[in-house]
Structure 1
Amino acid sequence: MMKKRQLAALATAGVLAFGAANAFAADMTKPLDEGWTFTIAPYLWASGIKGESGLFGFPPQDVDVSFSDVLNNLRFGFMGLTEARNGPFTISTDIVYAKLNADVATPRGILASNIDATVTTFMGTALGGYSLYYQDGTNFDVVAGARLWSANNRFEFHGGALDGTSASDGDTWVDPVIGAKFKADVGNGFYLAGWGLVGGFGTGSKSMWDVMGGAGYQFNDKMSMFVGYRAVHDNYSHDGFVNKLTQQGPMLGFTYQFSPAHPG
């Protein structure tokens, strides 16, 4: 049972290593009346994970896994975000889906000779924002919205007394989110960017925070690349399911920007 809970902790936590909640770059050189500009950005966040995780009402177990451990169990993942901006107003979404699978041998094989664990996790964030400062290639935005978390952990037992049986545990919850983000043009195509978000407030998670900072390079008016460092903490528990984790690590993103009014 210890190995099963270790695997569940790793898999439930590991999928969160691919999330981000903002566009990395928006074209802030446009005048306020230019109309809508859209940004699409795939990314990767190579984070390690520490904290506590628990299933089936068992006491929470310490989690300390590397990004390579998570990647070894990943079977499918999708992560990407969009941002729409019209002058100082923004709407952004972030969708993360991952499926992890691992086959774990038990120490003595009495209850089961091996356990097939499958974890599917979804994290979706929607934010609306307004720029308090917006000029000269620099913006400072306040944002508010919600983040949806969902995790489903399924275990299938093979061999031993539990042969042919299965068990599932997981939960779905929503966190209100508020925060701020910024982007600053520093010249010659380079820019700085970052965000800080807090949420939960006992409505979903007891607490949640998400911070990021880094730098990017604008290749042209449509394409850019961003590198940074991000840390996220979530503290959620309900009915025997515990997700109290902090993950942090470097991230890499690429953005594509376009405006329907000026498709060329």
Structure 2
Amino acid sequence: MAALVPAFAAAQQAASADTSTSSNAWRYSLSVYGYLPSLSGQSSANTPAGGPTIDIDAGKIVDSLKFTFMGAAEANNGRWGAFTDLIYLDLGGSKQSSRAFTIGHAPPPFGATADLSWDLKGSLWTVGGEYRVMADPVLTLDLLAGARMFALKPTLRWNVLGDAGLLQPVGRVGSASTSETVWDGIVGVKGRYAVGNNGKWSLPFYFDAGTGQSHLTYQAAAGVSYSYSWGELTAMWRYLSYDMKPGGSIDNLHFNGPMVGATVRW
């Protein structure tokens, strides 16, 4: 979910003007890409009348990505640059007679199951600046700093069957939906390593980490890119993690999977 496309734009021919730090001309890139991750994490919901929480293993409930939009833009002048990246996700799933839940953080009683449904709508927006510290034709390396916003709306629905333990009868069936916006500062590094004699193939990489309203967020990605006269195509593997502070509806979320993108430069 966030500023990975600048790593796409770093993959280019060795003779490209993008490896130069002496030009005063602005250069731009626009990217669209797709991300197909697996999901793991924990989510909680309060039950009525001050009862215990219902806590679920989201990775065992979610089975589909309903809709996604992903895009990014970057501008560079000499060693300096700026970027923005936006991801919108709508995912969810349901499980019948599941035991992938706890009641008040305790395992469900023997024989208890639940019909569970969990949906997550979320937007991740990253904005920041970068500075190129290495501009070798074989290796480019940028330092980056900025901020990432995660606006999320999880919705949990449950119907507990069998022995509900500490759960009051009124809390056996219910739903809860919350909205939360989390801002974090991030720092990181990105770049690419050119392979081959013609400079068309390269290995882009990216890493950032930060904190703020979340306890910790970080992401890492690496892959391969092929350059054309108009831009490049890139395939990467990406891991994105959020560990939230106590008290929210999301304890942690982790996205892990492949992504592919196309970048146009001018």
Give the alignment's TM-score, normalised by structure 2.
Answer: 0.72
Q: How does 1:98-247 map to 2 (within 5 A)?
A: 98-100=89-91, 119-136=120-137, 138-154=139-155, 167-186=176-195, 187-188=197-198, 189-200=200-211, 203-220=212-229, 222-247=230-255
Q: Which residue of the other structure, out of 35, 46, 50, is the alignment partner of 2:40?
A: 50
1:153-176 Cα offsets, whole Å, 9 max, x none, are 34689xxx99xx974213111011
Question: Any conservation in 2 of the 1:207–1:234 contact (CA below 8 Å)?
Answer: yes
RMSD over aligned Cα, in angstroms?
3.2
- Residues 1:76 and 1:231: Cα distance change in structure 2 (over 3 Å): closer
Percent sequence identity over matched residues?
Answer: 24
Question: Any conservation in 1 of the 2:134–2:142 contact (CA below 8 Å)?
Answer: yes
What letter corresponds to residue 180 of structure 1 in structure 2? V
Q: Which residue of the other structure, out of 83, 86, 89, is the alignment partner of 2:80?
A: 89
What letter corresponds to residue 123 of structure 1 in structure 2? L
What letter corresponds to residue 79 of structure 1 in structure 2? M
Q: Secondary structure at the match of 2:214?
A: coil
Q: Secondary structure at the match of 1:136?
A: coil
- Residues 1:91 and 1:224: Cα distance change in structure 2 (over 3 Å): same
- Residues 1:135 and 1:99: Cα distance change in structure 2 (over 3 Å): same
Question: Any conservation in 2 of the 1:126–1:146 contact (CA below 8 Å)?
Answer: yes
Between the aligned partners of 1:233 and 1:118, the Cα distance in structure 2 is 18
Between the aligned partners of 1:52 and 1:105, the Cα distance in structure 2 is 18
What letter corresponds to residue 248 of structure 1 in structure 2? N
Shift of 1:223: 2.2
Shift of 1:211: 0.8
What letter corresponds to residue 124 of structure 1 in structure 2? W
Between the aligned partners of 1:213 and 1:98, the Cα distance in structure 2 is 22
Shift of 1:99: 2.9
Q: Secondary structure at the match of 1:172?
A: strand
Q: Secondary structure at the match of 2:5?
A: coil
Question: Any conservation in 1 of the 2:2–2:148 contact (CA below 8 Å)?
Answer: no
Single out whichever of 95-104 and 174-183 deviates more from structure 2: 95-104
Between the aligned partners of 1:227 and 1:86, the Cα distance in structure 2 is 26
Question: Any conservation in 1 of the 2:3–2:84 contact (CA below 8 Å)?
Answer: no
1:225-263 Cα offsets, whole Å, 9 max, x none, are 1112111211013434223122212221111111xxxxx
Greater RCO (Cα-Cα under 8 Å, separation 6 or more): 2
- Residues 1:236 and 1:184: Cα distance change in structure 2 (over 3 Å): same
Aligned match of 1:25: 9
Q: How does 1:9-20 map to 2 (within 5 A)?
A: 19-20=2-3
1:125-182 Cα offsets, whole Å, 9 max, x none, are 112110111132531111000100011134689xxx99xx974213111011001111
Give the alignment's TM-score, normalised by structure 1.
Answer: 0.73
